[in-house]
């Protein structure tokens, strides 16, 4: 059975390679001025909050230990301000899929799904909702459908729909850093559409963990109260903030290169013909690879490849409506930049071959 220590190269952005405590601490020590204070205006958390507020063009930004906490708090505030308990979003959003329905269990909110789970939200989908909502939640890119992005005009129209109804617009910007090159506008230009914006510190930025919520002074002030109530006001969150500041210095400018590499890698996979990609071509550094084998066989082939040559192809294989199909998310970051597009295509070919052999199918 292969383990973390066996991974020598990886296509996975979250692979331990660049994230092991010793590697991370070394980068932090090399980056951090020795006289950095622990708390206060010049401490890492305050620096990070100012920097993200500036980048997003918002009056205030607040560190949160997780995006899960930050977004639930944002939606709760929008609900209390509008006196409406329901928010509307794409059927496959992070809050409904991956957070044990915290928005309902903890905050008493209701989720209204709009549109088709396998395609982007449209204005017609929103118009069909027919209920008063507190907020429209938009995820850029829409992760579960491969990291698709709406056109700028669609985005503007959807946010206008919310505002016309007296609802707020909230951005799940877990991958806003990765989405920005597609729109070719400053981060602040995208964030300006939204009343509240959450960004992640550990996906494209390759930090440790953590999130930032940005918005108007009073909204973020209220979010700080909720952060304390929920146990998220960690005074010494500096290691997470330092890792994120390094990410802003070193990774943010790399997003166009990551996206370009994603397009080339996806092209090589498609040309090889063994697997398909979604979207084709990718719009961000993230896309999905669809395999003609079951998730279990794909996972066993992944583990065999780690054992055989220390290369990790993916971390998680999702099931598909057809049991003999699976898909995984590929996020191009520093780890994946280490592979040429042809090398990635060859790895996927090997993975599928191993999985087919394992399933007793054609080789
Ligand atoms: C789209 C999206 N939103 C929100 C989150 C939540 O972030 P966190 O892990 O910081 O709670 C994630 C995490 O994977 C995500 O992918």
pLDDT for the residue 359: 83
Query: Could you identify the atom of ligand 1 that is nearest to the CA of residue 64?
Result: 10
Q: How far is the CA of 202 from the centre of ligand 1 (A)?
A: 9
Of 276 and 359, more confident: 276
131: left (phi over 0), alpha (psi -120 to 50) or beta: beta
How far is Cα 127 from Cα 112, in angstroms, rounded to an integer? 12
Buried b (16+ CB within 10 A) or exposed e, 150-169: beeeebeebbebbeebebbb
For residue 356 and ligand 1, the question of a CB distance below 6 A is answered with no
Query: pLDDT tens, 104-159?
Result: 999 999 999 999 999 999 999 999 999 999 999 999 999 999 999 999 999 999 99
Residue 360: pLDDT band with limits 50, 70, 90: confident
Q: What would be the CATH architecture of the domain defined by 36-250?
A: 3-Layer(aba) Sandwich (3.40)
Minimal-distance CA residue to ligand 1 atom 5: 67
Which of these ranges, 177-186, 253-262, 266-275, 351-360, has the smallest mean pLDDT?
Answer: 351-360
Q: Would you identify the CATH topology of the domain 253-359?
A: 3.90.1150
The dihedral region occupied by 329, where left means phi > 0, alpha psi between -120 and 50, and beta the remainder, is beta
Q: How far apart are CA 298 and CA 205, in angstroms?
A: 28
Under the banding of pLDDT at 50, 70 and 90, the label for residue 362 is very low
Between CA 162 and CA 336 the distance in angstroms is 38
Per-domain boundaries in the chain: 36-250, 253-359
DSSP character at residue 355: H
Q: Please give the distance, rounded to the nearest whole angstrom, from the Cα atom of residue 94 to the centre of ligand 1.
A: 6
C-alpha closest to that of 137 among 114, 153, 157, 154: 114
Partners of 172 in the beta sheet?
A: 139, 198
Q: Which of 340, 238, 339, 361 is nearest to 293 (CA)?
A: 361
The predicted-structure confidence for 286-317, as pLDDT tens digits, reads as follows 999 999 999 999 999 999 999 999 999 999 99
Q: Tell me the average pLDDT across 232-249.
A: 97
Q: Does residue 2 register a pLDDT over 70?
A: no
Asked if residue 240 has its Cβ within 6 Å of ligand 1, the reply is: no
pLDDT level of residue 1 (50, 70, 90 thresholds): low
Distance CA 251, CA 199 (A): 14
What whole-number percentage of the chain has pLDDT above 90? 96
Average pLDDT over residues 261-282: 97
CA of 169 to the centre of ligand 1 (A): 18
Contact 283, 149 (CB under 8 A): yes
Indicate if ligand 1 lies below 6 Å from the C-beta of 329: no
List pLDDT tens digits, range 157-198: 999 999 999 999 999 999 999 999 999 999 999 999 999 999
Indicate the average pLDDT of the chain: 96
Tell me how far apart the alpha carbons of residues 43 and 35 are, in angstroms, rounded to a whole number.
10
Give the CA count within 13 Å in the CB-facing half-sphere of 201: 30
The number of the ligand 1 atom at minimal distance from the alpha carbon of 66 is 10
Collapsing DSSP to helix, strand or coil, 356 comes out as helix
Q: How far is the CA of 143 from the centre of ligand 1 (A)?
A: 10
Q: Which atom of ligand 1 is nearest to the CA of 69?
A: 11
Q: Does the beta carbon of 139 lie inside 6 Å of ligand 1?
A: yes
Identify the residue whose C-alpha is closest to ligand 1 atom 8.
67
- CB burial of residue 219 (10 Å; 0-12, 13-18, 19+): buried
Kindly state if the Cβ of 142 falls inside 6 Å of ligand 1.
no
Confidence at residue 358, expressed as pLDDT on a 0 to 100 scale: 86
Domains 36-250 and 253-359 share a fold: no
Q: Which atom of ligand 1 is nearest to the CA of 209?
A: 10
* pLDDT band at residue 361 under the 50/70/90 scheme: low
Produce one character per residue of 294-333: b if its CB has 16 or more CB atoms within 10 Å, e if not: bbebbbbbbbbbbeeeebbbbbebeeeeeeebbbbbbbbb
Cα–ligand 1 centroid distance for 101 (angstroms): 14
Q: How far is the CA of 204 from the centre of ligand 1 (A)?
A: 12
Q: What digits encode the pLDDT tens for the residues 18-62? A: 999 999 999 999 999 999 999 999 999 999 999 999 999 999 999
């Amino acid at each position: 059975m292969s383990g973390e220590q066996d991974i020598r190269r990886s296509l996975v952005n979250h692979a331990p390679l660049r994230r092991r405590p010793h590697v991370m601490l070394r980068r932090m020590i090399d980056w951090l001025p020795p006289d950095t204070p622990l708390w206060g205006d010049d401490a890492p958390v305050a620096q990070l909050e100012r920097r993200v507020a500036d980048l997003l063009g918002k009056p205030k930004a607040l560190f949160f230990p997780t995006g899960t906490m930050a977004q639930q708090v944002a939606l709760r505030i929008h609900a209390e301000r509008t006196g409406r308990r329901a928010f509307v979003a794409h059927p496959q959003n992070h809050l409904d899929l991956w957070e044990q329905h915290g928005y309902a269990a903890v905050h008493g909110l209701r989720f209204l799904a709009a549109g088709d789970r396998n395609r982007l939200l449209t204005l017609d989908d929103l118009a069909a909702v027919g209920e008063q909502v507190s907020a429209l939640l938009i995820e850029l890119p829409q992760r579960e459908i491969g990291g698709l992005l709406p056109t700028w005009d669609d985005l503007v129209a959807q946010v206008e729909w919310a505002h016309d109804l007296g609802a707020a617009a909230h951005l799940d910007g877990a991958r806003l850093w990765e989405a920005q090159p597609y729109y070719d506008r400053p981060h602040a230009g995208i964030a300006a559409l939204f009343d509240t914006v959450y960004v992640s510190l550990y996906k494209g930025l390759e930090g440790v963990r953590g999130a930032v919520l940005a918005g108007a002074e009073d909204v973020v002030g209220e979010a700080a109260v909720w952060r304390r109530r929920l146990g998220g006001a960690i005074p010494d969150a500096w290691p997470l903030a330092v890792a994120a500041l390094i990410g802003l210095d070193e990774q943010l400018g790399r997003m166009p290169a990551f996206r370009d590499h994603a397009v080339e890698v996806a092209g090589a996979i498609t040309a090889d013909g063994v697997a398909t990609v979604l979207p084709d071509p990718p719009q961000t550094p993230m896309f999905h690879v669809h395999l003609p084998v079951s998730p279990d066989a794909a996972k066993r082939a992944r583990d065999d490849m780690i054992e055989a040559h220390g290369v990790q192809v993916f971390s998680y294989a999702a099931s598909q409506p057809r049991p003999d199909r699976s898909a995984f998310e590929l996020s191009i970051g520093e780890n994946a930049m280490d592979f040429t597009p042809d090398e990635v295509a060859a790895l996927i070919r090997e993975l599928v071959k191993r999985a087919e052999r394992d399933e007793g199918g054609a080789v």
